[in-house]
Structure 1
Amino acid sequence: MVEAFHGAGIQRAALFKPVGAEEIRDYPLSNEDRLDSHYFVPWERRRWLNSDMRLRGTAECRALYLDLIFISYDQSPVGTLPIDTDILARLVMVDPVHMRALCSLPYGPLHRWERCRCDGGEIRLMHPMVLRTLTEAIARKEDNRAKNEAANAAKRRQRLRITISGYAADLAKNDAALLFMDEWLVSQGCEYRSSAWVERALAAWSDHMLALTMRARSDRP
């Protein structure tokens, strides 16, 4: 994260330094990527305490710099900021003229923020450190969702196994049959697995096995 705060000593905000179109990165997150339940931001305090931004920036610039980072988490796309300094000034409750003066400093409020291309071609500002924390958070969110889905599927299949055992105890021990019927019920949009639905799943499994048997016979020389 050191690189998130260290720079060449020159303000890199696109508002003050012309950037060629070829230098504008595509922002990897879209307007659909949200972290609505993400109420905290992981912060590597030691790197921040020893960063150039903290050691060389003025107290006011440091405060606004942190404000803008936290504000970006509620923007769309998440982790970006508008490129208009007047809007940024309103967001941090600072006079626009004063904001522009601060941003012209080597370690101003927009230190290491750079232009990026978002959905629809909109040009906004992004920060590599903010983007990194967001991609890690989204990855954790996807991992948690996958784990929850796997746990829910296991519980759902266990309930189905118990129900099937009431019809055919041996069939309830057949993992392949259980998986087939569970997936069939899901594909049919079945939300409540009543006896009627379970019996349909049993019939679907029977039809499936019959089709496999007929295919095997037809493949014989």
Structure 2
Amino acid sequence: MQPVNISDLPDYPLSCNDRLDSHFFMAWERRRWLASGMRLNATPECRALYFDLINIAYDNSPVGTLPMDQNILAKLLMVDSGHFGSLCKLDYGPLYKWEPCRCDNGDIRLMHPMVLRSLSEAMARREDHRARNDAANSAKRLQRLRITVSGYHADLAKNDAAIRWMDEWLVKEGCEYRGAAWIERGMQAWSNHIFDLGRAGGAFPQKGA
């Protein structure tokens, strides 16, 4: 590790608020690892510590980073600090390709391009999964609302715009359980909405006309 100009450091793209708490595993590119310079050139001990540090980084904040202090890293690895320092001086030491970066909280920490790539892909998959779940939940919620409204007004239940508007209105109003009272309020709100649109467009006579 050499002294660096802080202004020249790259900004770490993940913030302290980015979490993968529900992930109890990490993606590991087996073939990439088997052909990597680290695996082919490092000692068995350095390879083991290198892999340990990657796992440790997943539980640090920001996720995927490590503290700069080698004494702290040695404690995390449960190895002698002096011995760890000597290993880090090797061309293929435990901190191979770990480099300083600036984090969103102002800290200077270590990042690794492979770890960052793996985390970015994991977060992208999580967001895709969340989007699919949200879409599925929304579709089910709209279908339930349509069925309920059909019990009051069959033609209104066939109006896609009305169902979507009432759904958004119920969500905005903080309705947690869509009982009869809420459904009736939603239908009345839709009726008022249509009336206001018509009045604004001149479809209804104004007072004094």
State the TM-score bracket (shorter-chain normalisation).
Answer: over 0.9
Among candidates 11, 29, 43, match of residue 28 of structure 2: 43
User: Within 1, Cα distance between the matches of 2:203 and 2:153?
Assistant: 29
Counterpart in 1 of 2:94? 109
Counterpart in 2 of 1:71? 56
Counterpart in 2 of 1:183? 168
What does 1:163-178 correspond to in 2, within 5 Å? 163-178=148-163
Q: CA deviation at 1:217?
A: 1.2
What does 1:1-221 correspond to in 2, within 5 Å? 16-217=1-202
User: Within 1, Cα distance between the matches of 2:71 and 2:33?
Assistant: 27
Between the two proteins, what is the percent identity of the paired residues? Answer: 65
User: Within 1, Cα distance between the matches of 2:105 and 2:143?
Assistant: 46
Cα deviations across residues 58-108 of structure 1 (Å, max 9, x unaligned)? 111111001101111011111000111011001111100001110011110
Tell me the TM-score normalized by structure 2.
0.95
SS in 2 for 1:25: coil
User: Within 1, Cα distance between the matches of 2:18 and 2:80?
Assistant: 32
SS in 2 for 1:124: strand
SS in 2 for 1:76: coil
Cα deviations across residues 149-171 of structure 1 (Å, max 9, x unaligned)? 11111111111101100110000
Q: How many residues are matched?
A: 204
Moved over 2 A (4+): none
Query: Residue type matched to 1:116 in 2?
Result: C
User: Within 1, Cα distance between the matches of 2:202 and 2:104?
Assistant: 55
Tell me the TM-score normalized by structure 1.
0.90
